[in-house]
């Protein structure tokens, strides 16, 4: 199941950018765009044997188009709707790695980029042991950050002082 989910996420990572690039002028909320997006989703859903699939093409100015395809329960007739809730599983790590790898390929980041290169506004708040960690070390789990095993580990984790939004603005 995890292998199918990862394959599905990777397939969608490459389908949707090409969908947006090839049809930017015609992408707008509405039935035609939804139908086109659904026509891309359904073969992927069938290929990987998942009961349902949902996707949205989103830009910084808002939701352009979304679509769903499939059934709520494998082997049943009840169609999935855009109101149904989906469990996304634990995909934040592979999606984050994919986004970072894309930024490295585009030359916007490097595997040797350190946290403070990206977030200079945190220079006074970041724990000293984290200052020189690279993206490569983080993604390869070689940064020396110990795993959280219990609630007390999370409570003892470093925190950033001040307002996150202020730190974020200062880093641009």
This model's pTM is above 0.75: no
Domain boundaries, the chain: 2-87, 99-170
**Token duo for residue 70:** 């499939």
Which residues neighbour 70 within 8 Å (Cβ) at sequence distance 6 or greater?
Answer: 42, 45, 50, 51, 52, 53, 79, 80
pLDDT, tens digit, 9 for 90 and up, residues 9-34: 545 554 445 444 444 445 555 667 78
- The angle formed by the CA atoms of residues 140, 145 and 148, to the nearest 5 degrees, is 110
Give pLDDT tens digits for 55-93. Answer: 888 777 776 788 899 999 888 899 998 888 877 667 778
For CA atoms 100, 91, 37, 64, give the dihedral sign: negative
Q: In degrees, to the nearest 5, what angle opens at C-alpha 19 toward C-alphas 17 and 21?
A: 65
């Amino acid at each position: 199941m995890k292998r199918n989910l990862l394959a599905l996420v990777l397939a969608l990572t490459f389908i949707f950018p090409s969908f947006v690039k090839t049809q930017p002028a015609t992408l707008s909320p509405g039935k035609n765009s939804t139908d086109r997006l659904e026509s891309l989703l359904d073969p992927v859903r069938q290929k990987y044997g998942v009961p349902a699939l949902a996707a949205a093409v989103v830009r910084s100015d808002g939701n352009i188009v979304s679509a769903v395809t499939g059934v709520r329960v494998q082997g049943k007739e009840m169609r999935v709707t855009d109101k149904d809730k989906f469990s996304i599983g634990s995909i934040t790590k592979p999606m984050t790695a994919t986004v970072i790898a894309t930024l490295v390929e585009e030359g916007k980041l490097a595997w040797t980029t350190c946290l403070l290169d990206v977030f200079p506004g945190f220079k006074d708040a970041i724990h000293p042991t984290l200052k020189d960690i690279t993206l490569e070390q983080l993604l390869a789990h070689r940064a020396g950050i110990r795993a959280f095993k219990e609630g007390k580990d999370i409570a003892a984790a470093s925190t950033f002082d001040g307002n996150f939004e202020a730190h974020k603005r200062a880093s641009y």
